[in-house]
């Protein structure tokens, strides 16, 4: 039998589907309710067209970018995804080494199955041009002392920024997980950042309190308790984007949680222009959701995103081939990004403007 050619992120998803327990595959692949938003994230990129320029490119294009003092080899980062040990025994250790080797930021999930200190140590084992950069994602907790304990832990581990996910007043409902009876980690795995956080906590996923009573006051308290840059992940309404800037956040990660929270919210790339207008250049806006191709990255950057995140493709790489699989996904996207820049007549990622992206021309999908 011919070996599978791993040419696209979709090839990694196919390989992951074969490697994973179907219950875990569904957990990663799935979205909330009818999965309308999950599909919309992809469809929106497909509807946008690129209108390239000619006779103005360069042989070697600049892909690097610095954000929050973190030099990155390209404006692509690993959005936070929970439970990497479901995909591979090495879990987040493998992911962190791959991200460090590729020179990109990994946003560690509060619900990682390896402790943030161990993830940071794994990233430091990789020798590269750039120091490895980790950011830490957290859900604000109704008890601010718990939030502060987490922030202290992530800061001590060397995380360079905090990404506060604000789209989860309650957990999104995934009917795939319900049907499969998946609602907890298997024996032997835990949310290691929550273990012994303040006392003898076991590291259970149920320790993560989703609360509909969180308010801007909780964010203000966090803002004042840390010197790290704070990004909000999951702001969708432009009015909230304005409020976030007024409350002193340092950046936004425009995200609909990969279609896993409120179903039927718009695709992130469709919302990007409105959010950028609301923010008016005061803080960088990053985007995730449905990014699978170099053309997607170029469209988001050209519209004004400072960087883009990928969620599921990282888990597919990890499930398919551990550290090498994640690295392969990142290098595949780097290659596609560079190739798209060349075809667009761009000298690098700083040479992208809105004019390159057009709403869909009829008949072209």
Ligand X SMILES: Cc1cc2nc3c(=O)[nH]c(=O)nc-3n(C[C@H](O)[C@H](O)[C@H](O)COP(=O)(O)O)c2cc1C
Ligand Y SMILES: CC(C)CC(=O)C(=O)O
158: which residues sit within 8 A by CB, 6+ positions away? 120, 134
* Token output for 17: 């589907």
Cβ burial 6-33 (10 Å sphere, 16+ → b, else e): bebbebbbebbbebbeeebbbbbbbbbb
Q: To the nearest whole angstrom, how small is the minimum distance from the Cβ of residue 314 to ligand X? A: 8
Strands 134-139 and 106-108 turn out to be parallel
Residues assigned a catalytic role:
257
Neighbours of 97 (CB within 10 A): 24
Q: Tell whether residue 82 is a contact of ligand X (CB under 6 A).
A: yes
Q: Tell whether residue 232 is a contact of ligand Y (CB under 6 A).
A: no
Q: Which helix (H) or strand (E) element contains residue 45?
A: helix 36-47
Q: Tell whether residue 255 is a contact of ligand X (CB under 6 A).
A: yes
Kindly tell me which of 293 and 327 has the beta carbon lying closer to ligand X.
293
In the list ligand Y, ligand X, none, the entry touching 158 (Cβ below 5 to 8 angstroms by class) is: none
| String marking each residue 204-223 x if it binds ligand Y according to CB under 6 A | -x--x---------------
Strands 308-310 and 49-50 turn out to be unpaired
Q: Tell whether residue 258 is a contact of ligand X (CB under 6 A).
A: yes
Helix-strand-coil split of the chain, %, nearest 5: 40, 10, 45
Helix (H, G, I), strand (E, B) or coil at 129: coil
Q: To the nearest whole angstrom, how small is the minimum distance from the Cβ of residue 139 to ligand X? A: 7
Kindly tell me which of 303 and 346 has the beta carbon lying closer to ligand X.
303
Q: To the nearest whole angstrom, how small is the minimum distance from the Cβ of residue 9 to ligand X? A: 9
Kindly tell me which of 61 and 85 has the beta carbon lying closer to ligand X.
85
The binding site for ligand X (CB under 6 A) comprises 28, 41, 79-82, 109, 111, 137, 165, 233, 255, 257-258, 260, 288-291, 310-312, 315
The binding site for ligand Y (CB under 6 A) comprises 82, 111, 171, 205, 208, 257, 260
């Amino acid at each position: 039998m011919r070996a599978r050619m791993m040419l696209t992120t979709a090839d990694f998803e196919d390989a992951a589907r074969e490697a994973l327990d179907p219950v875990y595959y569904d957990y990663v692949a799935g979205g909330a309710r009818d999965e309308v938003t999950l599909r919309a994230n992809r469809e929106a990129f497909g509807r946008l067209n690129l209108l390239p320029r000619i006779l103005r490119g360069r042989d070697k294009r600049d892909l690097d970018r610095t954000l929050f003092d973190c030099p990155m080899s390209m404006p692509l980062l690993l959005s936070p995804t929970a439970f990497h040990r479901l995909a591979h025994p090495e879990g987040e250790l493998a992911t962190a080494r791959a991200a460090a080797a590729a020179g990109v930021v990994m946003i560690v999930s509060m619900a990682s199955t390896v402790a943030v200190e161990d993830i940071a140590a794994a990233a430091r084992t990789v020798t590269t041009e750039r120091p490895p950069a980790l950011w830490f994602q957290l859900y604000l907790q109704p008890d601010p002392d718990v939030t502060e304990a987490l922030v202290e832990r992530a800061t001590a581990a060397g995380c360079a920024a905090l990404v506060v996910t604000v789209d989860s007043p309650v957990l999104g409902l995934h009917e795939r997980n319900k049907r499969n009876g998946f609602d907890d980690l298997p024996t032997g795995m835990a949310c290691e950042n929550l273990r012994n956080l303040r006392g003898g906590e076991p590291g259970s996923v149920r320790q993560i309190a989703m609360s509909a009573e969180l308010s801007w006051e909780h964010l203000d308290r966090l803002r004042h308790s840390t010197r790290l840059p704070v990004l909000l992940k999951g702001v969708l309404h432009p009015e909230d984007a304005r409020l976030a800037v007024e409350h002193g956040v340092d950046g936004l990660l425009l995200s609909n949680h990969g279609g896993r929270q409120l179903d039927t919210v718009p695709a992130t790339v469709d919302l990007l222009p409105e959010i950028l207008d609301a923010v008016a250049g005061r803080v960088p806006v990053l985007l995730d959701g449905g990014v699978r191709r170099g053309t997607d990255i170029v469209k988001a950057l050209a519209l004004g995103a400072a960087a883009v995140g990928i969620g599921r493709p990282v888990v597919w790489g990890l499930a398919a081939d551990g550290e090498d699989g994640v690295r392969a996904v990142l290098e595949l996207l780097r290659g596609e990004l560079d190739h798209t820049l060349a075809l667009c007549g761009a000298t690098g990622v700083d040479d992208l403007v809105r004019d390159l992206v057009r709403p869909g021309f009829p008949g072209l999908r």
